[in-house]
């Protein structure tokens, strides 16, 4: 017959889906009772109607059922009091000083964890000069590829007017919020935040500079991202308010510039990349999308949008071409269905190229770990 300690040990393997930490460490297990092979577990959720209720219940049941001598598991779900939620939030934030916990400092100024000196998160802004080059599709596929390689990845949908990440990642719902923290939603192993989670899908966002700046600030400071390895920011096309605000808030972020091969797109993308010289961001590379098309009936390769734009852009921005991605209708189909191509068709040539680019990003992050920073006094 298992003891209460055995049950608690089993429950330590169950993690809160939003926070990624054991429910036993977060004060979510209120009571455990064991009698005649029947185990009663009382679990507390942060808010009533928590969207993770069924998942947590199922995982608690499965964890306890694995113990010898257990013939039935009964899970009762309750809601935390305000005091318990405050304790939960303090535990999540690590006493207010944990990196990447988000929140506010002693004053009213928001603290952006990714901008602190001790942050280990590599922030990558994915930009383009014009719309329609596949920037968001590349963002989602790179994020999922990194997550599949074992990295903790977040996606910030910074395209406030033309947000598309929720649909491309197959995620919907309203993030839970309490104690000045917002919990990002999750999909395909990535944490995601988007203005699309907070407004009516059919309602346009008509905001000007100050509101856009504040929204982006809240996404960075008030969302509990946890300990991320990568935060990928899907920027709107062009060099407007959001790109400028993000550069101000995260001056150490890298930028990837997405273009298509034709000269017109390359020239516009050049302007987007050149803004980094004025903001402090570093262009980490260029990605050329829609590079070629292979006819499925003949196998003949066509360069529908011309060629050379990606390598020329990389040369002009003094960076490297990370990869050229061929046209694949399944990339668009996967985006519409909420299943990125690297999941839906992992063997497709476009998926292989995207994984190669993700591998380069991961290698670049590892190369700076443990190196002394060039400090000047």
Using the predicted structure, report yes or no on whether residue 212 has a pLDDT greater than 90.
no
Using the predicted structure, report yes or no on whether residue 205 has a pLDDT greater than 60.
yes
Burial bucket for residue 136 (CB in 10 Å: 0-12, 13-18, 19+) = buried
pTM of the model: 0.77
* Most confident region among 40-44, 130-134, 172-176, 260-264 by mean pLDDT: 40-44
How high is the pLDDT of residue 30?
94
Over the chain, what is the mean pLDDT? 83
The CATH number of the domain covering residues in 113-368: 3.40.50.300
- Mean pLDDT lowest for which of 114-118, 184-188, 272-276, 354-358? 272-276
185 close to 62: Cβ distance less than 8 angstroms: no
How high is the pLDDT of residue 287?
94
CA–chain centroid gap for 196, Å, is 14
Provide Rg for the chain, Cα atoms. Answer: 23
**What is the mean pLDDT of the segment spanning 98-125?**
69
Using the predicted structure, report yes or no on whether residue 103 has a pLDDT greater than 60.
no
**What is the mean pLDDT of the segment spanning 152-162?**
88
Q: Which CATH class is domain 4-80?
A: alpha beta
CA–CA distance, 243 with 213 (Å, rounded to integer): 10
Q: Check residue 172 and report its DSSP letter.
A: -
φ/ψ of 164, rounded to 5, equals -140, -5
Using the predicted structure, report yes or no on whether residue 359 has a pLDDT greater than 70.
yes
321 pLDDT tier (thresholds 50, 70, 90)? very high
Beta strand 122-128 pairing with 181-182: unpaired
CA–CA distance, 334 with 313 (Å, rounded to integer): 28
How high is the pLDDT of residue 196?
85
* % of the chain beyond a pLDDT of 70: 84
**What is the mean pLDDT of the segment spanning 150-173?**
90
* Most confident region among 14-23, 112-121, 181-190, 256-265 by mean pLDDT: 181-190
Which of the pair, 88 or 188, is modelled with greater confidence? 188
Using the predicted structure, report yes or no on whether residue 283 has a pLDDT greater than 50.
yes
How high is the pLDDT of residue 107?
44
Please give the span between the terminal C-alpha atoms of the chain, in angstroms, as a whole number. Answer: 65
Using the predicted structure, report yes or no on whether residue 281 has a pLDDT greater than 50.
yes
Using the predicted structure, report yes or no on whether residue 294 has a pLDDT greater than 80.
yes
How high is the pLDDT of residue 158?
87
How high is the pLDDT of residue 376?
37
What tokens were used for 119? 């942050």
Beta-carbon contacts of residue 367 (< 8 Å; ≥ 6 apart): none
Using the predicted structure, report yes or no on whether residue 279 has a pLDDT greater than 70.
no
CB-hemisphere CA count at 13 Å for 354?
34
98 pLDDT tier (thresholds 50, 70, 90)? very low
Using the predicted structure, report yes or no on whether residue 104 has a pLDDT greater than 60.
no
Residues of the chain with CATH 3.30.300.130: 4-80
- Mean pLDDT lowest for which of 146-160, 163-177, 191-205, 337-351? 191-205
* % of the chain beyond a pLDDT of 90: 43
Neighbours of 49 (CB within 10 A): 9
Distances (CA, A) of 107 to 93, 103, 111, 116, 225: 17, 11, 10, 16, 21
Residues of the chain with CATH 3.40.50.300: 113-368
What does the pLDDT look like over 224-274, one tens digit per residue? 888 899 999 998 876 666 777 777 788 788 989 998 887 766 666 776 677
Beta-carbon contacts of residue 212 (< 8 Å; ≥ 6 apart): 160, 241, 242, 245
How high is the pLDDT of residue 366?
66
CA–CA distance, 166 with 60 (Å, rounded to integer): 28
373 pLDDT tier (thresholds 50, 70, 90)? very low
């Amino acid at each position: 017959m298992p003891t209460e300690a055995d049950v608690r040990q089993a429950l330590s393997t169950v993690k809160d889906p939003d926070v990624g930490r054991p429910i036993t460490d977060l004060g979510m297990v209120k009571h455990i009772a064991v009698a005649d092979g029947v185990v009663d577990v009382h679990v507390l959720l942060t808010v009533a109607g928590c969207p993770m209720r069924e998942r947590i219940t199922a995982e608690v049941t499965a964890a306890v059922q694995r113990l010898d001598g257990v013939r039935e598991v009964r899970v009762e779900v309750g809601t935390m009091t305000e005091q318990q939620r405050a304790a939960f939030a303090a535990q999540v934030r690590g006493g207010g000083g944990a990196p990447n916990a988000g929140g506010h400092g002693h004053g009213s100024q928001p603290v952006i964890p990714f901008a602190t000196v001790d942050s280990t998160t590599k922030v990558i802004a994915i930009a383009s000069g014009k719309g329609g080059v596949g920037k968001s599709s590349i963002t989602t596929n790179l994020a999922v590829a990194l997550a599949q390689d074992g990295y903790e990845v977040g996606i910030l949908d910074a395209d406030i007017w033309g947000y598309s990440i929720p649909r491309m990642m197959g995620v919907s719902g309203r993030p839970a919020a309490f104690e000045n923290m917002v919990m990002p939603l999750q999909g395909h192993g990535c944490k995601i935040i988007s203005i699309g989670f907070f407004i009516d899908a059919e309602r346009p966002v008509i905001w000007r500079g100050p509101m856009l700046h504040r929204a982006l600030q809240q996404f960075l400071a008030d969302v509990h991202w946890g300990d991320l390895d990568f935060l990928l920011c899907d920027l709107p096309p062009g060099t407007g308010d959001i790109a400028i605000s993000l550069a101000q808030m995260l001056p150490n972020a890298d930028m990837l510039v997405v273009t298509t091969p034709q000269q017109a797109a390359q020239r516009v993308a050049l302007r987007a990349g050149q803004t980094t010289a004025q903001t402090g961001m570093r262009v980490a590379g260029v990605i050329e999308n829609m590079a070629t098309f292979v006819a499925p009936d003949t196998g003949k390769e066509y360069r529908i949008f011309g060629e050379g734009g990606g390598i020329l852009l990389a040369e002009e921005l003094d960076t490297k071409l990370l990869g050229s991605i061929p046209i694949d209708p399944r990339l668009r189909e996967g985006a519409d269905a909420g299943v990125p191509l690297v999941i839906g068709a992992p063997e497709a040539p476009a998926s292989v190229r995207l994984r190669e680019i993700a591998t380069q990003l991961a290698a670049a992050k590892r190369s700076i770990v443990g190196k002394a920073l060039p400090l000047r006094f």
